[in-house]
Amino acid sequence: MGSSKIKYEHGMIDGLRKFLEKIESWEEIQSIIPAVINCTKRGAPFTFRVRYATSKGLKCFAQFGHSIQEVFIVTSYPEKLQEKIKKFVEQSSSKAIFLM
């Protein structure tokens, strides 16, 4: 994977890899760490949700169908990055939905 900012330790739910590869080059992002995939009772189209900022970055969730995956984005600019992700999803031709 070379200089990728994405850690590929775990599998990824459908749509997540493509979404992360589109944003990984942003200068605000130092690294992206997807966690394990879990199940949820409520199904959904691909959704990317920023849950909250931490001292080291953003804690996010991605969901597709009945699968949900936590994603941690390391950044020194969490508020700026959160807004940038929101604008990207709103302007994107992808089917991602941004929720807060």
Rounded to two decimals, the pTM is 0.86
Give pLDDT tens digits for 10-36. Answer: 899 999 999 999 999 999 999 999 999
Residue 6 DSSP code: B
| Residue 21 main-chain phi, psi, to 5 deg | -65, -25
Q: Quick one: pLDDT at residue 2?
A: 52
Structure confidence by residue, pLDDT tens digits, 53-77: 999 999 999 999 999 999 999 999 9
> What are the strands, taking DSSP E only, across 1-100?
29-53, 57-75, 97-99
pLDDT greater than 50 at residue 50: yes
Rounded mean pLDDT of 85-97?
Answer: 73
Supply the pLDDT for residue 44. Answer: 85
| Domain layout of the chain by residue ranges | 16-91
